[in-house]
Structure formats: structure tokens, C-alpha cells
């Protein structure tokens, strides 16, 4: 059985993922759109991969 701290951390992780879901979906739409320029699509791809972290 998992420790309570691990299950709490997992619940926190789920909340963080849910909070960024809309932003991630918008970035993925920019990447998937064939008419988008290379620079914005590349920037969106990098941000989607890292979640905006450096």
C-alpha cells in the first residue's frame, strides 16, 4: 500500500496537470495547424514539451 504522502503528491500532480490542460491544448493546436509559421510552431513545441519551464 502506498504511503499517504505519495497519494497526496499524486493528487497534487493531477491538479497541476488539469490546470495546464487548456494551455497545453492551445499549444498543440498551434503545432498541428499546417498553416502556422515555423517560428511560432517551434516555440509552441518547446513550451508544450517543457510546460513553460526553462
Q: Where are the domains of the chain?
A: 22-54
* Per-residue confidence (pLDDT) for residue 36, from 0 to 100: 64
- How much is the pLDDT for 11? 97
Q: Is the pTM of this model over 0.85?
A: no
CA–CA separation, 33 and 31 (whole Å): 6
Q: What is the pLDDT of residues 3-38, one digit of tens each?
A: 999 999 999 999 999 998 998 888 888 777 766 666
36's CB contacts (< 8 A; 6+ apart) are: 30, 44
List pLDDT tens digits, range 34-50.
666 666 666 777 777 76
Amino acid at each position: 500500500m502506498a504511503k499517504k504522502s505519495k497519494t497526496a503528491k499524486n493528487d497534487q500532480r493531477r491538479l497541476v496537470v488539469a490546470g495546464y490542460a487548456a494551455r497545453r491544448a492551445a499549444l498543440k493546436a498551434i503545432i498541428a495547424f499546417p498553416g502556422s509559421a515555423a517560428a511560432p510552431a517551434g516555440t509552441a513545441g518547446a513550451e508544450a514539451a517543457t510546460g513553460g519551464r526553462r
